Chain A
């Protein structure tokens, strides 16, 4: 039985494609991650290894705009939003790393009108 991870992205970063300079808008980030707390057991009674996101940060063209401390209180497949305003076109890059060392990233670009 094949049980490979599905190809394609394991996160969604959603920004409006076109904004006005200085206008506030919402950035939405959804990451596919089990956020396993280490407190649960599987059907055979074995403890599921803890695996939480340990760092999560986002920058806009190299300038840090958002960081989060992600602990066991956060749900699986965390969804995070924040409000930001930019002066010129550029791209948001999100980066995260979990306790098992798996790193992920996603970027999305936003264009400033006029």
Chain B
């Protein structure tokens, strides 16, 4: 009797080891499959047919103000950006069209080069002047003029962008639940767009109209500033403007909005 029970115990122990090793192998293959999904075959969360610009979610009054260049206050920045472009940039760049559509892009070292950063790189290496301050009038003016010049074009993000660390970090940030209200960017902008949060209609959260004139700000602002306002709205800690996660989110948003035409300067509430 003691011999039999001992044997049964050994058999059971073997069985447990067998099942746990099976489960381990299963987890391993699944894990491999999951990571392959998120790097090579990743698709934007909103299908191309379902993509809607933020302009579809604002009031008719604001939309009318945005569509008419005579009424759009962002055109003041476009005018000034054009003057700056003709003074500093036209020597090298034959046309302003397409420059904004080519950004944000990845540097060889894997960092994200946003339009504003590219302007400041040119400013220090080609124009030979000190870089513009973040959110300063001339930087906003140039970025707005360049985005305006690429109106109707779509931001070009190569399919391989999803293999970059920057994209992966941004995706993790976009889907991370954070803040006092306990939600992520994804909770609203991937899943609940078109529904209302208090008096506002939730948009899909694309940056194609930015730099945009925001009534709340009483001025025009960059995507960097808009993203910081998102963090503030989510009641979580707001990153500093130079935090790389903001540039990485700009890259992720451009990838996510592939196919939507640029329409800066937009007008938002």
Contacts and interface: CB of A to CB of B under 8 A. Distances in A.
A4 B141 CA distance: 12
Given A8-B79, A8-B84, A10-B80, A77 B138 contact: no
Interface in A1-15: 1-12, 14
A79 interface: yes
Interface in B81-95: 81-84, 87
A87 B224 CA distance: 50
Contacts of A79: 71, 73
Contacts of B137: 3-6
Please classify the interface of chain A as helix (H, G, I), strand (E, B), loop, or mixed, using the class held by over half of its residues.
loop
A76 interface: yes
Contacts of A77: 73, 76, 218-219
A3 B129 CA distance: 12
A3 B75 CA distance: 20
Contacts of A2: 123, 129-133, 136, 138
B236 to A, nearest CB: 18
Interface string B180-201: 0000000000000000000000
Given A2-B133, A7-B87, A12 B75 contact: yes
A76 B136 CA distance: 17
A8 B133 contact: no
B218 A9 contact: no
B109 interface: no
B71 A11 contact: no
A14 B77 CA distance: 16
B243 interface: no
Interface residues of A, number: 22
Contacts of B71: 28, 30, 79
B70 interface: yes
Contacts of B141: 6, 8
A81 to B, nearest CB: 9
A29 to B, nearest CB: 10
Contacts of B81: 6
Given A10-B76, A11-B76, A12-B76, A1 B87 contact: no
Contacts of A12: 70, 75-76, 79
Interface of A: 1-12, 14, 28, 30, 32, 34-35, 75-77, 79
Interface of B: 70-71, 73, 75-77, 79-84, 87, 123, 129-133, 136-138, 141, 218-219
Given A1-B136, A2-B123, A34-B218, 12 more contacts: A5-B137, A6-B77, A6-B83, A6-B138, A8-B79, A8-B82, A8-B83, A9-B83, A12-B79, A14-B70, A77-B73, A77-B218
14 contacts: A3-B133, A3-B138, A6-B77, A6-B80, A6-B83, A6-B138, A7-B84, A8-B141, A9-B79, A12-B75, A30-B71, A30-B73, A34-B219, A77-B219
User: Nearest 7 A-B pairs (CB), nearest first?
Assistant: A8-B83, A6-B80, A76-B218, A1-B133, A8-B80, A6-B141, A6-B138
